[in-house]
Amino acid sequence: GETHYHEFVVQATPVKRLCKTHTKITVNGQFPGPTLEVRNGDTLVVKVVNRARYNVTIHWHGVRQLRTAWADGPSFITQCPIQPGGSYTYRFTIEGQEGTLWWHAHSSWLRATVYGALVIKPRAGTSYPFATPKREFPILLGEWWTSNPIDVINQALRAGAAPNVSDAFTINGQPGDLYNCSRKDTVIFPVNSGETNLLRIINSAMNQELFFTIANHRLTVVGIDASYTKQLATSVIMLGPGQTTDILITTNQPAGRYYMAARAYATAPNVPFDNTTTTAILEYQSIPCPATKSRSKSKSKSKCTSSQPVFPFIPAYNDTQTVTAFTTSLRSPANIRAKVPTKVDVSLFFTVGLGLNPCNPGRTCQGPNGTNFTASMNNVSFVLPSTLSVLQAFYRGVNGVFTTNFPPFPPTQFDYTGNVSRALWTPTRGTETYRLKFGSTVQLVLQGTNIFAAENHPIHLHGHDFFILAEGFGNYNPRTDPAKFNFVDPPLRNTVGVPVGGWAVIRFVADNPGAWLMHCHFDSHLTWGLAMVFLVDNGVGELETLEPPPADLPRC
């Protein structure tokens, strides 16, 4: 493949939204950041120069990073952060992935404004497994805070409370015309009648699952998380943060203007969320203007930009039925049976959920009933190291940075989705990892809990894609639920929404040496510790072992 060189300058940039200009951290002064476009098989070399006053790292969300864990990016997991004034060059090859991924900052809450699309076209000399679309548009769904997002999370951590919800959702960085003074900046996607277009939808929001729909147009899903799917026709899609969905739309409607819109899907109504709606406009290039007197007098161009776009139907914020129907209909393309691991070497069961810590004496905690929010997997709340990254410590055999005792099962069996005893609400804390032999096949049951709130958790695994064999509500039943496993065409993803008050079963092969973070992609939950790390040992061959660390790997 080809090699693409880029420079990302992380810098403070004034950005105006919702009538207010604030200084945000951006890449190259752009918000959202630059779109990277490559082919499957190409190599990316991105020099990141930090001219901001925060430590920063960049993560290439969903990129397998085979043998190049040093380029994965999560702060203190695979590298020490790039300090102000420093730089680091990420170098990696796209191997076997096609579709849409994205990149984002992976330190503190910088990813609120430091993110962009990574478009992966078919391998050179090959084409899409569908008719080549006439136009393609990356569509990044985001969340906007008028204030500094780092201040928002720091304030929440000091208070022990949930962070303030965002002031707007955005499509390609713009809130759209349902928000005050955003109207004239609403993003317009120009299309021609009778053509098929590929929309690459990315949920880059911080803390919110989102519905996405377009008025009067059928959405045909063709890919998720840079894996192709069987075609699935729908009127609405839902994405958790981190997930991507590629859809085809055919412009077969009367020439006109049609809203696309995104709004929250929220499963825990006792946790506050932003219930506003972001819009953009799909605009046919040949809109006939209504024959009115005013028009003949005006000098305006033939486009009737004053015509009101058609508004779509968006499901209610808590419409879990629609979400379940959609997510459980996603399928890998025909006959991938050979690739779904049928033999399991390591069988794991992790609870995922919130918790509440008691308040230290002398402090005022603003969480529920005077507590602090926390979150955990198997009752362990993950603590980031601060002296060295987990991967550096693993590679060099440095003691004291992490432990390898992450529990494979919850400390006690309990009714996860019932009325969970208060004794289980307070997790322990630690930098606990779980070690896997190279090439082992892992089955992992992700079980949501009702501790404080039952909600979907978008669980993201770095460095691997996994098959989602089954999902369901309530407690996972190891006797009866395996009968529901799909070994024929399960979807392949890097992020799974564990159903509210329910479970999901995933399988993957630990074929990538390194230290791989697995975490909830709600940044509030990640901050509270809803994370753990898999350590994958080296294999034996050249194609199975971790490359040595780059010379410019930042120091702590």
> CA 157, 158, 162, 167 torsion: positive or negative?
negative
The torsion region of residue 423 among left (phi > 0), alpha (psi -120 to 50) and beta comes to: alpha
Residue nearest to ligand C2O (CB): 61
Contact 408, 348 (CB under 8 A): yes
Residues paired with residue 533 on neighbouring β-strands, in sequence order: 433, 517
3-state secondary structure of 375: strand
Q: In terms of CB distance, is 68 or 213 closer to ligand C2O?
A: 68
Closest distance of CB 82 from ligand C2O, Å: 16
Q: Which is nearer to ligand C2O, 64 or 462 (CB)?
A: 462
Residue with smaller CB distance to ligand C2O, 67 or 462: 462
Instruction: Compute the least distance from the CB of residue 61 to ligand C2O, in Å.
Output: 4
- Please, which residue, 348 or 517, has the CB nearer to ligand C2O? 517
Report in angstroms the alpha-carbon separations of 49 from 43, 45, 84, 386.
19, 13, 9, 21
CA distance 458 to 521: 5
Report in angstroms how near the CB of residue 90 gets to ligand C2O at its nearest.
Answer: 14
- Between 104 and 263, whose beta carbon lies closer to ligand C2O? 104
Tell me the H-state helices in 385-513. 390-396
Which of 261/530 has CB closer to ligand C2O?
530
106 or 200: whose CB is closer to ligand C2O? 106
CB of 516 to ligand C2O, least distance (A): 9
Whether the CA torsion 394, 395, 397, 401 is positive or negative: it is negative
CB of 328 to ligand C2O, least distance (A): 23
Strands (E), 107-218: 115-121, 135-144, 168-171, 188-191, 196-203, 209-214
Cβ distance to ligand C2O smaller for residue 257 or 521: 521
Task: Write out the two tokens for 80.
Answer: 């020490």
DSSP code for 125: T
Sign of the torsion formed by the C-alpha atoms of 405, 75, 373 and 518 = negative
Please give the residue ranges that form the binding site for ligand C2O (CB under 6 A).
59, 61, 74, 104, 106, 242, 460, 462, 517, 519, 521
Q: How far is the CB of 313 from ligand C2O (least distance, A)?
A: 30
**Spatial distance between the Cα atoms of 138 and 520, rounded to a whole number of angstroms:** 24
How does DSSP assign 339-356, residue by residue?
GS--S-SEEEEEEEEEEE
Supply the minimum distance, in Å, between the C-beta of residue 241 and ligand C2O: 8
Which CB sits closer to ligand C2O, 236 or 520?
520
Q: Helical H runs in 280-369?
A: 293-297, 320-327
Q: How far is the CB of 519 from ligand C2O (least distance, A)?
A: 6
Is omega for the bond preceding 32 within 30 degrees of 0, making it cis? yes
Nearer to ligand C2O, 74 or 502 (CB): 74
Contacts of 42 (CB under 8 A, 6+ apart): 1, 2, 3, 4, 93, 94
| Closest distance to ligand C2O from the beta carbon of 522 (Å) | 11
Closest CB to ligand C2O among residues 106, 257? 106
Toward ligand C2O, which CB reaches closer, 61 or 217?
Answer: 61
Please state the closest distance from residue 104 (CB atom) to ligand C2O, in A. Answer: 6
Pairing, β 244-250 against β 219-224: antiparallel
**3-state DSSP assignment of residue 174:** strand
Neighbour tally for 292: CB within 10 Å: 10
The pair phi, psi for residue 460, each rounded to 5°, is -115, 130
Q: Are 44 and 89 in contact (CB under 8 A)?
A: no
Task: Give min distance, CB of 518 to ligand C2O, in A.
Answer: 8
First CA to last CA distance, the chain: 34
Q: In whole angstroms, how close is the CB of 75 to ligand C2O at the nearest point?
A: 10
